[in-house]
Structure 1
Amino acid sequence: MVGVEETSNRSKGAGQLMIAAMAIALAAGLASALMFASITSGAAISLLLIILAPLPLMVVGLGWGAATAAIGGGAATVLIAALFGLPYSIAFVLVNVLPAWWLAHLILLARPHHNAAGDPDDALEWYPVGRILIWIVIFATIVTAATLLTMGGDAATIQKTLRTGWVELVEATGLVLNDSTLDALVLIAPIGAEITAVAMLTINLWLAAKIAATSGRLHRPWPDLKSTTLPMTAIAVLFAAIVCSFAGGLLAIMAQVLTSGLSMAYAMTGFAVLHTLTLAMKSRALWLGCVYAVVAGFAWALLAIALLGLADAVFGFRERYLRSRSPPPLPKS
């Protein structure tokens, strides 16, 4: 009888946990859907809410598993489709549900570490942060490319739509711009959209991981972000995209989008390089603060940080620096 009671209690406990997880998933999906739907209000705060719309799904994905994020995202998608129609629901899936589900799955993905020591944290090898960055670039590129293709099926139509949008925006603000400035804005619009998408997905994922870790629900150790590296194949893809950027037409626009996304990823590794190379500096916080301030004030400085990340991938600055600071081997007895 005691064994039967214990089995019954365990079944009830498992059922209660499942119900709680489902409730959390639905609550996260509802929150994400409401934040995404705020775009229809036209309020200024809706821009911030749309940017943070993937956050609730990412939090539950990291804290309760990727399947939970998929359940919450699926329920939210049905709600969005019922209220606003199929196009909005497709956009919601691409921008929020798929990244939240897949990135949470990757972050919690691990395999046994064959060279593990006694530390239990070293018993598992977790999915590399650099490869997660590549997936962020992939999602951002898909969203940006899909958005551009809704404007037209060829480069001329897309550029015409972008130009019309800029003209309407400029007229609404009361400014007057010449043709050359408008041409420049049309050129940089897809690039800016890609960079923004990569940055926002990264920030949302970092915030979600911080929230899950603070609440004790992140079921993996916090990674050493200073050691983040991109796979070497990313260099080949980047240079191929740069070459295709001069091909002209729709291919050039898509290649420029991919180039800007990968450049943003290398900029993030460039910041990791700076955080590593300044470890021994007494005024490290001041130097890093100045670098971040310059990047925030001058967008072109981000290119220099990306070049630093790319140079580190080729020449191994961090590896050489850490090797030079490692203690010498103990003498043999």
Structure 2
Amino acid sequence: MTASLFLIGFGAGAASALMYAAAASGSPLALALLYVAPLPVLIAGIGWRHVAGLIGAVAGALILALAVGPKTGLFFAIAVGLPSWWLAYLALLAREDPATGQTEWYPIGRLVVWCALLGAALISATIPLVATDLEVYRAALKEVFTKAFQGAGGEAPQLPGGQDPQKLIDFMATLAPGLAATFWTLSSILNLWLAGRICRASGRLVRPWPDLPRMELPRGAALGLGAGFLGSFLPGIPSLMAELFAATFMVAFMLLGLAVMHVTTMAAPARGLILFALYALLMLLPWLGVFLAGLGIAEQLVGIRRRFGPPPSGPPTAAANLP
């Protein structure tokens, strides 16, 4: 191991730890830094191979353990450092096809599924820290949202028009875990994409840039989604954990649905306008993601892109980089 590799990893870990620690202030900017905290470790892992990412994960955990406390360092390692190292490691996995001699890189769709699994697993891991009973857990969330709505003097929360805020608080307490899991999944995918773009721009990316609209999810993703929905009928905490996995797998299929739209509109004269309108509507009406997820499920079942899209080009090639 060279000194420069150690310095790169240590610097990435220190930057990631600083972003993670800044979230303690509770401001919106600090919370945004929490979600981009994995980015430095991902850049180190993708640009300087997975050893640098592992050094960054360990260094960040040690820095927080010494500066803040052992629990903070442990939480950083579990929620940020090790997942980022693992994603970077998988992104650079490659093997040579003995029949053709071409390099096969770890599929992008499998990386998306890993992000979904990690997003649901990490939020699930926080549930026993709050309560081991579903009603107690939701009561704790309701208390958090009630305090958030209270004024500076501690007065009862008020809504415009004199509406009862309790219904809104109950609704938010029900949706909060799933939203946290889906947001963590999306932020992991975005951080992975940003790390790849940064490494590509700097000439550090050894893997050829993938054809993202041709992304394929593994067949097991549909089973994971179905298992999550079926598990949501279980009683107690297991039902909530199953809902989290169902929600994050829905995100994976939503992205597959977006990939379908990108491919099937390639021949459309107004393709740019169509895609712009689609993304704008998705930002304004997030529930449209359910329909995109349905499109992604249909793609896996019947192959919409194969039927209605142009034929794919040959796979990009580059020298294998076995971590």
Q: TM-score, normalised by structure 2?
A: 0.90
Alignment root-mean-square deviation, CA: 1.8
Q: Which amino acid aligns with 1:186?
A: A
Contact 2:19/2:34 (<8 A) preserved: yes
**Distance of 1:239 and 1:196 partners within structure 2:** 20
CA shift, 1:113, in A, is 2.1
* 2:138 corresponds to: 159
Q: Which amino acid aligns with 2:5?
A: A
**Distance of 1:40 and 1:191 partners within structure 2:** 22
**Shift in alpha-carbon separation, 1:325–1:257, aligned structure 2, 3 A:** closer
Query: How is 1:231-250 mapped onto 2 (pairs within 5 angstroms)?
Result: 231-250=218-237
Q: Does 1:175 align with 2:158?
A: yes
Q: Does 1:187 align with 2:164?
A: no
* 1:142 corresponds to: 121
2:254 to 267, 270, 286: 267
**Distance of 2:130 and 2:255 partners within structure 1:** 30
Q: Does 1:31 align with 2:18?
A: no
CA shift, 1:115, in A, is 4.4
Q: Does 1:40 align with 2:27?
A: no
Structure 1 gaps of 5+ residues are 1-14, 118-122, 327-333
**Shift in alpha-carbon separation, 1:21–1:92, aligned structure 2, 3 A:** same
Contact 2:266/2:309 (<8 A) preserved: no
Contact 2:145/2:169 (<8 A) preserved: yes
Q: Does 1:228 align with 2:215?
A: yes
Q: Which amino acid aligns with 2:188?
A: L
**Distance of 2:202 and 2:97 partners within structure 1:** 27
**Distance of 1:232 and 1:128 partners within structure 2:** 13
**Shift in alpha-carbon separation, 1:76–1:325, aligned structure 2, 3 A:** closer
**Distance of 2:18 and 2:158 partners within structure 1:** 34
Q: Which amino acid aligns with 2:119?
A: A
**Shift in alpha-carbon separation, 1:77–1:226, aligned structure 2, 3 A:** same
**Distance of 1:181 and 1:43 partners within structure 2:** 22
* 2:54 corresponds to: 70
Q: Does 1:216 align with 2:195?
A: no
* 1:280 corresponds to: 267
**Shift in alpha-carbon separation, 1:251–1:59, aligned structure 2, 3 A:** same
Q: Does 1:313 align with 2:289?
A: no
Q: Does 1:257 align with 2:241?
A: no
Contact 2:8/2:44 (<8 A) preserved: yes
Q: Does 1:197 align with 2:181?
A: no
Structure 2 gaps of 5+ residues are 314-323
**Distance of 2:111 and 2:139 partners within structure 1:** 35
* 2:281 corresponds to: 294
**Distance of 2:280 and 2:263 partners within structure 1:** 18
CA shift, 1:172, in A, is 4.0
**Distance of 1:43 and 1:181 partners within structure 2:** 22
Moved more, 85-94 or 257-266: 85-94
Q: Which amino acid aligns with 2:158?
A: L
CA shift, 1:323, in A, is 6.3
**Secondary structure of residue in 1 paired with 2:95:** strand
Larger Rg: 1
In the TM superposition, structure 1's runs of 4+ consecutive aligned residues that sit over 6 Å from their partners are: 323-326
CA deviations on 1:22-54 (whole Å, 9 max, x unpaired) are 111111111111111112334432112111111
* 1:127 corresponds to: 106
Moved more, 27-36 or 316-325: 316-325
CA shift, 1:149, in A, is 2.1
Q: Does 1:53 align with 2:32?
A: no
Moved more, 186-195 or 164-173: 164-173
* 2:84 corresponds to: 100
Q: TM-score, normalised by structure 1?
A: 0.87
**Distance of 2:305 and 2:267 partners within structure 1:** 13
1:81 to 65, 78, 98: 65
**Distance of 1:31 and 1:325 partners within structure 2:** 40
**Distance of 1:289 and 1:220 partners within structure 2:** 29
